Every structure is written in C-alpha cells, then in structure tokens.
Amino acid sequence: MATTKTETQNLSLKRESPLNRLRKEWAGVLILLLLAAFPFLFAWFSGTSVTDGPSRFWQGLMITFFIMAVYAMSYDLLIGYTGILSFGHAAFFGGGAYTMALWLTHAVPVISSRYRITLPGGANITEVVLFVAGILLVVLVVTLLGLLFSAASARVRGVYFAMISLAMAEALHILSKATDFVRWTGADEGLHGVPVPAWINPTQNRLLFYFVALAFALIMYLLVRRIVDSPAGRVFVAIRENESRVRMIGYNPVVFRSIAFVTAAVIAGLAGALFSLWNMSATPTMTGAIMTINALIMTILGGIGTLVGPILGAGLMQIVGQFFYQWFGPRWPLVFGLIFIALVIFLPYGVIGTWRQKRYAWKRAIQKMFGKG
C-alpha cells in the first residue's frame, strides 16, 4: 500500500527532515555501520583473514544472531504487541525451514534438470527463478499456517490457546520426524546437505552470506517497525490491552489478529528459510518446542513489547551463550539459567524495558539535582 511519498516519510510520529531523522537515529545507524564493518574489524584486530578461521566462525555466530533476532522479533509481534501467548511459534520457523529445504532438495534438482529459464539475452537464470519461487512458496506455506493459528485463536483464548498452539506446533514437529516420510524429510536426522545455490551458499561464501543475513535482519526490522507503527499496528496493541473494547469501538479483532499472525508467521518463516540455507539443513529441532521456548526467552530477556528487546535478547543468548560455553563448559546452562532467573526477577521488564524506565528515573534525578535542567 505504501506510496513513494509515504516511503520518504518518517517512521516516528512527526514529520521531520532526513537530517533530523539521522540525528535521532544516530545510535541505530552507528550500530548498523559497526555490524557491517564487523567482519573486517574482527579480522583486523585478530590479525586473521576475513574469510577463514575465527573470522569465519564469528561471522557464523553473527549470522545465527541476525536470524534469531528476526525470529524473536516476529514472536514479539504476537506476544508483546498483540498480547497473544502462543507456544507454537516454532511451527512458522520450522515450516519455513522445511519448505525451503524440501524445495531445494527435492524439487529444484528435478525441475532444473528438465527446464531452463533464460533471459532474452541467453543468460541462464533458472537457479535464481527457482530460488525466488522457493521464497514465495515459503511465504505461501507459512501464511496458511498463520491463518490456521489465527482461526484457532478466534475460538479459544489465553492459556487454552497457548496449549492449542503448542499442540499444533507439536503436530508439525511430529510430522517432521515421522519415519513415514523419511525419504523426503530424513525423519529424526532431518535433511542435511541441502543443495543451496552456489551464489548464496554459506560455506562457499561466508562473507556474502553475512551481508545477506544482515540485510535481511535490517529489512525485517524496518518492516516490523513500520507495521508496529502503522494504524493496524496500533490496533494490535489495543487488542492486547482490551479486546472487547476494541470490538466495541468498531474494529473486528479477528481480522487484526489474523493480520498479526500472518505477518509474524511470514517473518518467522522467512527467518526459518534463511536458517535452513545457513545450516544447509532442516531438522526436527527447528520445529520443536525448544525453538518456541527460545523465542520466548529471547523476547522476555530483551524486553517484551519492544523491537530492540528481542534483538538484544537474541544477541545475549547467541553471543553470551558462546562465551558461557567457553567459560563454564558443558554445564554452562546452569549458570545461564541462574542468571536468567535473576534477570527475570530483578529486571521485570527485560533489559530494554528496565533501561527505558531507569533512564527516565535517572533523567529526573539529574534534573532534580541541577534544579530543573
């Protein structure tokens, strides 16, 4: 729906000049630049090659982080913004991952061995076309999943829905590991060695994949930010606050919940698809309850109902988890769990939420100290 005119408009409430915007968002831009430069900075500081060894590994870690951040963000769209407690988010992520992996493993080779799609000039673009088709397929599949979930959510509420969603995801999980489909899905082991097209293959060109993932995360972040800030996004929040009242002022919550579900599903599904490309695999873990729980943990850790929160949560979990593993060995989840519990008890609004609150308090304290700054 967005016209060119609106595209140039600001994301925040008031219209501002681009310069002004940049000033407001300097922190974000800086972080983005840092992330973009990260592979080179890391290689430079550690004195290693950008494409090998530890650099490569850290790029990998960051790629996972980017993907998980998007995934957590999509979850927050449901739980934080629309107030839907869903325990089935893995279905979207795993659904996306499996769709992509199955498509690349079983459909693409067959199709590309039979057909060739060329540009008028003669360039062979079969691979690209099929890849794009794969993405569209992912979107289609997870949209259907999202609609299924929202249909259920129209009928049952609260913890009952949480349980239903858990069950629906579990059903998908069971399908993904059912031996009946072992020829296609690899059952328990999952699909490995998915033939990812060379131009986006993470083992062949890790650095490129890093930027793809970064761009993906950025685009998704901007997209979600837009959605959250859009008229519809505001209605999501209203539904979270008081659904019956939303209906009484003239919105149809079923429709808006469906929108929320489908958007969250598509974003999570795309994250899943990218994850399957990144790992060149699709495994039952990706559809399992742990995957949902991860989303929940990342979201709450960072701060529910914010966009930066889930991203930060994903970062904490991926990056800090890595360090913990190094420091504490295989029992690191013990330490992580303890810290985690302490955080939940003492930082009730997540890292970001608490920071925002405190920031306000600090500001006031400072104002007080200097007699109204």
Partner 1 sequence: MTVEGEILLEARSLRKEFGGLVAVDDVNIQIRERTLHSIIGPNGAGKTTLFNLLSGMMRPTRGQVYYRGRDITNLPPHRIAHLGIGRSFQITNIFPNLTVLENIRLAAQALGKDNFRLFRPAGSFRQYEEKAYAVVKRVGLQGREFDLALNLPHGDKRKLELGIMLAGEPQLLLLDEPTAGMSSEQVPALLEIIHSIMADGDKTIVLVEHRMDMVMSISDRITVMHQGQILAEGTPQEIARNQTVQSAYLGELYGDLAADLEDKDGQR
Partner 2 sequence: VQQVTPTAEPTQPPAPTQAPPPTQAPTKAPEPVQTEEPVVELGPVLKIGQIGQLSGALALYGLQQTRGFELGLEYASGGKTDEAGRYIIANRPVEVLVRDDEGNPEKAVQLARELIEKDGVEIIQGPSSSASAAALTTVALENKIILMVDPAASAFITGQYFNPYVFRTSRTNYDDVLVIAKYLVENVGSKFAHIGIDNAFGRGSGAALAYAVAQYGGEVIADIYAPLETTDFTPYIQQAMDSGADCLFLTWAGTGYVTLFQQLGDLGALDQMQVATGFGDNASFAAVYGAAVGQIGLNVYHYTAANTEINKWLTEKHLEKYNEPPDLFTAGGMASALALAAALEKTGGDASGDAMIPALEGLKFEGPKGTYYIRPEDHVCLQPMNILKLVDINPPLDDKGRPTYKFFETVYVTKYDELAVPCTLTGEYESRCGDLPRP
Partner 3 sequence: MLGVVGYTSMGQTAFVRTTLSGLTLGALFFMVAAGLTLIFGLMDVLNFAHGAMFMLGAYLGWQFFTNPTFLFGLAPLILALLAPLFGWLFARLEIPEALQKSAPSLLGLAGVVVVFLAVRGLDILDLAKTAMVATMTAADPLAEATPQEALSIFWLRTAGMFIAGALLAMATSRPGDKTRTVHTDQVRRALIGAGVLLVFTIVATLFREAAPRAVLLWDANLRFFAALLVGALLGAGIGGAIEVTLIRPLYVRPIYQVIVTLGLAYVLREVIQLLWQPLAYQMSRPPLFSQPGKAENIFEWFRTNSVTVDVLGVTFPSYRLFIILLGVLMLVALALLMNYTRLGMIIRAGVQDRQMVEALGINVQRVFTLVFMLGAGLAALGGIGAAPFIPVQPNMGDAFQLQAFIVVVIGGMGSYGGAAIGALLLGLARAFGDYLALKYSLSPAIAEASTVIIMAIVLLVRPAGLFGRKE
Rounded-to-integer distance, Cα 278 and Cα 206, Å = 9
Q: Is 163 in the site for partner 3 (CB under 8 A)?
A: yes
Binding mask 231-260 for partner 1 (x = CB under 8 A): xxxxx-xx--xx-xxxxxxxxxx--x--x-
The DSSP call for residue 243 is H
Burial of 222-240, coded b for 16+ CB within 10 Å and e otherwise, reads eebbebbeeeebebbebbb
192 membership: H or E segment, kind and range? strand 191-192
**Residue 263 interacting partner from partner 1, partner 3, partner 2, none (CB closer than 5 to 8 Å by kind):** partner 1
Alpha carbons within 13 angstroms on the beta-carbon side of residue 230 total: 16
User: 222, 341, 365, 366: which one contacts partner 3 (CB under 8 A)?
Assistant: 341
**Residue 283 interacting partner from partner 1, partner 3, partner 2, none (CB closer than 5 to 8 Å by kind):** partner 2
Q: Is 144 in the site for partner 3 (CB under 8 A)?
A: no
300 membership: H or E segment, kind and range? helix 289-302
- What lies within 8 Å, CB to CB, of 367 at 6+ separation is 373
| Distance linking the first and last C-alpha atoms of the chain | 44
The DSSP call for residue 82 is I
Rounded-to-integer distance, Cα 339 and Cα 345, Å = 10
> Candidates 111-119, 221-229, 318-326, 338-346 — which segment interacts with partner 1 by CB under 8 A?
221-229
CB of 68 to partner 2, least distance (A): 13
**Residue 9 interacting partner from partner 2, partner 3, partner 1, none (CB closer than 5 to 8 Å by kind):** partner 1
CB nearer to partner 1: pick between 97 and 267: 267
Rounded-to-integer distance, Cα 363 and Cα 140, Å = 48
Q: Is 156 in the site for partner 3 (CB under 8 A)?
A: yes
CB nearer to partner 1: pick between 7 and 180: 7
Assigned token pair, 343:
């955080």
User: Which residues make up the interface to partner 3 (CB under 8 A)?
Assistant: 79, 85, 152, 155-157, 159-160, 162-164, 166-168, 170-171, 174-175, 177-180, 289, 293, 296-297, 300, 304, 330-331, 333-334, 336-338, 340-341, 344-345, 348
Contact footprint for partner 1 (CB under 8 A): 1-2, 6, 9-15, 223, 226-227, 229-235, 237-238, 241-242, 244-253, 256, 259, 263
